[in-house]
Amino acid sequence: MKIAVVICEYNPFQNGHAYHLAQTREKTGCDKIICIMSGNFTQRGELAIADKYERAKWAIKYGADLVIEIPTQYVLASAEYFALGAIKIANAIKGEKILSFGSESEDLESLKKVASFKENEEFGKALNFYLKQGFGYAKSFSLALNESSADYAKILSSPNNILAIEYLKAIEKTSSDVIAVNIKRQGANYSDKDYSPIYSSASAVRDMFEKNDFAHIEKSVPAQVRDYLLAVDKEEFSQYGERMFSLIKYVVATRDLKSIHAVKEGIENRMKNCAILSKNKDEFYQNIRSKRYTDSYLSRTVANILLDNKYSAEKLREEKIDYVNILAVEENSKDLLSLIDCDIAVKSSALPKDSLILSADSLYSAICRKNGASTAIVKR
């Protein structure tokens, strides 16, 4: 069986995602599509706009056959480890596998060339130099790469290309048998917040949702996603930030933060001070922000603190994926579960008790006041 793998977040699912799934099926000639998706927290460290089971159902409804959750410890790490965790799961799937990803560049060979620079010693030194200067990872990567090749450095101007490069690097590092195929992204870039006819980015849709711009949302997402967003209790939704800030104030004041994943360079002291001085979540993030840290790094670090995530980078690199959490399956595709070469969980109670997924789900429920769910069997 030929399996296409798509690494995703679908926060929320939009028309461009539906296009990518359709193109994946057409371009690869695959028998089935398996999505490997972040859970209730996204790689930016934010609460997802809809819970993971709802987003998984959207994926099945609009083209996928199975959705597997990326473990939280990989989601709430840098793009390098997010990609590594997803590829580890792909490696646990038996059969012929094709990784299909969207990127702004159609030149797969150039993306592979940029990925290979990561293993270059001189490049590594330059990358570390710029990181120590306070630049974010993407900017540091681009500056270091520019010293080797200005042409290749241009590729890093796109967030989707950066993720694509990390996927390719993870395939190489894990000696994976996954074959990569890239599909040119349509419409707005990954982080664009402006409305784009037909293909607005997920970032833009979230921005529209915050502004109650449902006229543009309706043109940007499939019907099932539109109906879900229309039904959200906006008054309840507006309380999430306050609940999260209450937890932040308590946790940073009472917990030793130095051993938390990615806490570095005294950021824990800055957070403790700002939690005392700030009146709400937005003010807290405004106060801890500096040119040394990207907004995504700060959001991920806060989420890791709330979850008491002590995974080291070394553990993320060396850890084997022993189990996967199934979020949704298309009703005629249950046979795909037999292709997964590790333990399978179809409800939270089946996960190991020390799983960070359980902690993330509990935190999400506490903030969003939503009860847990189990694997959805979806009719398409």
Question: What are 207-225's pLDDT values in tens digits?
Answer: 999 999 999 999 999 999 9
- Which residues form the domain of 151? 108-156
Q: What is the pLDDT of residue 70?
A: 98
Query: How is residue 176 written in tokens?
Result: 């994976």
- The Cα 47–Cα 13 span in angstroms is 15
Q: Is 317 a domain residue?
A: no
- Examine the pLDDT at 189 and tell me if it is beyond 80: no
Q: In this prediction, what percent of the chain has a pLDDT beyond 90?
A: 70
Tell me what the mean pLDDT of segment 277-293 comes to: 91
Q: HSE on the CB side for 348, CA within 13 Å?
A: 16
- Examine the pLDDT at 295 and tell me if it is beyond 80: yes
Q: What is the pLDDT of residue 241?
A: 93
Q: What is the pLDDT of residue 101?
A: 94
**Last residue of one domain, picked from the residues 311, 341, 360:** 311
Quickly state the pLDDT bin for 105 (edges 50, 70, 90): confident
Among 125-139, 238-252, 313-327, 364-378, the range scoring the smallest mean pLDDT is 125-139
**Last residue of one domain, picked from the residues 100, 135, 156:** 156
Q: Is 280 a domain residue?
A: yes
Contacts of 72 (CB under 8 A, 6+ apart): 39, 41, 307, 309, 356, 357, 359, 360
The 10s digit of each residue's pLDDT in 315-358 is 999 999 999 999 999 999 999 999 999 999 987 778 999 999 99
Quickly state the pLDDT bin for 103 (edges 50, 70, 90): confident
Q: What is the pLDDT of residue 218?
A: 94
**Last residue of one domain, picked from the residues 279, 311, 343:** 311
Name the average pLDDT for the chain. Answer: 90
Tell me what the mean pLDDT of segment 174-189 comes to: 85
Q: What is the pLDDT of residue 135?
A: 77
Q: Is 275 a domain residue?
A: yes
Q: Is 372 a domain residue?
A: no
Number of domains in the chain: 2
Q: Is 298 a domain residue?
A: yes
Q: Is 376 helix (H, G, I), strand (E, B) or coil?
A: strand
Q: What is the pLDDT of residue 81?
A: 95
Between the ranges 107-121, 243-257, 360-374, where is the mean pLDDT highest?
243-257
Q: In this prediction, what percent of the chain has a pLDDT beyond 70?
A: 94
Q: Is 251 a domain residue?
A: yes
The 10s digit of each residue's pLDDT in 120-174 is 778 888 888 887 777 777 678 778 878 876 666 677 666 678 889 899 999 999 9
Q: What is the pLDDT of residue 260?
A: 95
Instruction: Name the pairing type of β-strands 66-69 and 323-330.
Output: antiparallel
Q: What is the pLDDT of residue 314?
A: 94
Contacts of 281 (CB under 8 A, 6+ apart): 241, 242, 244, 245, 248
* Beta strands per DSSP E along the chain: 2-8, 32-37, 66-69, 96-103, 179-184, 323-330, 343-345, 376-378
b/e 162-185 (16+ beta carbons within 10 angstroms → b)? bbbbbbbbbbebeebebebebbeb
Residue keyed to tokens 């979850």: 307
Tell me what the mean pLDDT of segment 287-297 comes to: 87
Tell me whether residue 350 is exposed, middle or buried, using C-beta atoms within 10 angstroms of its C-beta: 0 to 12, 13 to 18, 19 or more: middle
Alpha carbon distances (Å) from 183 to 59, 106, 179: 18, 7, 13
Q: Is 94 a domain residue?
A: no
- Examine the pLDDT at 287 and tell me if it is beyond 90: yes
Among 94-98, 107-111, 370-374, the range scoring the smallest mean pLDDT is 370-374
Q: How many residues does the chain have?
A: 380
Whether the pTM exceeds 0.85: the reply is: yes
Q: Is 279 a domain residue?
A: yes
Between the ranges 1-5, 103-107, 197-201, where is the mean pLDDT highest?
1-5
Q: What is the pLDDT of residue 124?
A: 80
Q: Please, are residues 4 and 28 in contact by the beta-carbon 8 Å criterion?
A: yes
Contacts of 298 (CB under 8 A, 6+ apart): 45, 267, 285, 288, 289
Quickly state the pLDDT bin for 118 (edges 50, 70, 90): low
